């Protein structure tokens, strides 16, 4: 029985493992592989909560472990991915400093792309959001601010689009330095904004109780069929817009 109760935690650790592997790929600038392992990690992240509810194995330990795993998969990795994309635009890499240099020569030989470091702001904002989430009692059945996995899907979709759907105007847009900087700043804002967003948790299968969820899933499926990888950022935008619209509709009724 104790082993069964640990199944959700084991799934969470698989999420963390995928995040660690994705980090290695992201540091090596293998962004497509990093994206694939992040998506696998997010899949584990979804099923650990599902398994915890089914097995009645929810615990404070599981909550903390989930956030720690998310910090890697949906915090560290997207920051590095955005850093690498900015680095490609700026074209100014970190230089490895030979150990034979003197202290005076050391600082003269380090060439850092400070602009690219803005990508890591997403990692900092993700850490802040995850810490807030753990102590925020308002986010039990819905979210306030964009969940870190959703924001991560938005960012990792960029290398997938660039590699598999490299339409010239899309490449020009995604590899524009101001677009990437703007994406970093918008991500940081959405992660911690006081914007109520619905969660994809079905307590019942009733259409009346879940109409926004069913509508979102249907529209997402249509977008994926029509747009493929380009659908990912569109789906994240759709998620935010539907949440805001339905919240206003409910407030007026």
Shared domain check, 229 and 128: no
Q: What is the pLDDT of residue 1?
A: 52
Share of the chain above pLDDT 70, in %: 89
Q: Which residues pair with 198 in a beta bridge?
A: 142
- Residue 106's pLDDT is what? 45
Q: Is residue 132 domain-resident?
A: yes
Buried b / exposed e over 30-54, threshold 16 CB at 10 Å, is: bbeebbbbbbbbbebbebbbebbee
Evaluate if residue 102 carries a pLDDT over 80: no
Last residue of a domain, one of 194, 219, 242: 194
Domain match, 7 and 68 both = yes
Of 135 and 171, which is predicted with more confidence? 171
Average pLDDT over the chain, rounded to whole?
87
Indicate if the pLDDT at residue 109 is higher than 50. Answer: no
Which runs of consecutive H residues, i.e. helices, occur in the chain?
2-5, 7-27, 31-54, 60-71, 77-90, 103-109, 121-135, 148-164, 168-174, 177-192, 207-227, 231-252
User: Do residues 151 and 190 touch, judged by C-beta distance below 8 A?
Assistant: yes
CATH number at residue 35: 1.20.120.1760
- What is the pLDDT at residue 172? 95
Looking at 56-70, 106-120, 144-158, which range is the least confident one?
Answer: 106-120
**pLDDT for 96 beyond 50:** no
Q: Is the pLDDT of residue 101 over 60?
A: no
Tokens of 39: 């998506």
Domain-terminating residue out of 194, 219, 236 = 194
| Tens digits of residue pLDDT in 214-251 | 999 999 999 999 999 999 999 999 999 999 998 888 77
Total domains, the chain: 2
Asked whether residue 247 falls in the same domain as residue 172, the answer is no
At residue 78 the predicted structure's pLDDT band, cuts being 50, 70 and 90, is very high
Supply the pLDDT for residue 215.
Answer: 93
Q: State the residue range of the domain holding 188.
A: 2-94+104-194
Residue 66 lies in a domain: yes
In a domain, 99, yes or no: no
How many of the other CB atoms lie within 10 Å of CB of 228?
Answer: 13
* Rounded distance between C-alpha atoms, residue 15 and residue 38, angstroms: 8
Q: Do residues 17 and 81 both lie within one domain?
A: yes
- Regarding whether 82 and 42 lie in a shared domain, the answer is yes
Beta-ladder partners of 144: 196
24 and 87 in a single domain? The answer is yes
Do 22 and 36 share a domain, yes or no? yes
Taking each helix axis from N to C terminus, what angle separates 177-192 and 121-135, rounded to the nearest 10 degrees? Answer: 10
Question: Exposed, middle or buried, 113 (CB in 10 Å: 0-12/13-18/19+)?
Answer: middle
Same domain, yes or no, for 189 and 204? no
| Sequence-ordered list of residues with C-beta below 8 angstroms from that of 141, at least 6 positions apart, any chain | 199, 201
């Amino acid at each position: 029985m104790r082993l069964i109760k640990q199944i959700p935690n084991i799934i969470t650790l698989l999420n963390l493992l995928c995040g660690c592997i994705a980090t290695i790929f992201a540091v090596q600038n293998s962004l497509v592989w990093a994206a694939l392992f992040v998506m696998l990690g997010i899949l584990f992240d979804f099923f650990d909560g599902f398994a915890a509810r089914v097995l009645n194995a929810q615990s404070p330990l599981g909550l903390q472990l989930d956030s720690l795993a998310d910090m890697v998969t949906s915090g560290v990795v997207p920051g590095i991915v955005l850093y690498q994309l900015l680095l490609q635009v700026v074209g100014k890499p970190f230089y490895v400093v030979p150990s034979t240099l003197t202290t005076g020569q050391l600082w003269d030989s380090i060439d850092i792309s400070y602009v690219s470091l803005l990508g890591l702001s997403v990692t900092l904002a993700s850490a802040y959001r995850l810490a807030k989430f753990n102590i925020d009692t308002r986010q039990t059945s819905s979210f306030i601010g964009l969940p870190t996995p959703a924001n991560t899907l938005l960012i990792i979709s960029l290398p997938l689009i660039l590699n598999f759907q490299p339409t010239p105007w899309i490449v020009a847009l995604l590899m524009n330095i101001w677009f990437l900087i703007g994406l970093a700043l918008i991500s940081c804002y959405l992660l911690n904004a006081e914007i109520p967003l619905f969660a994809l948790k079905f307590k019942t299968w009733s259409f009346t109780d879940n109409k926004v969820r069913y509508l979102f899933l249907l529209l997402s499926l249509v977008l994926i069929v029509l747009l493929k990888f380009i659908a990912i950022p569109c789906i994240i935008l759709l998620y935010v817009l539907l949440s805001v619209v339905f919240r206003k509709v409910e407030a007026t009724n």
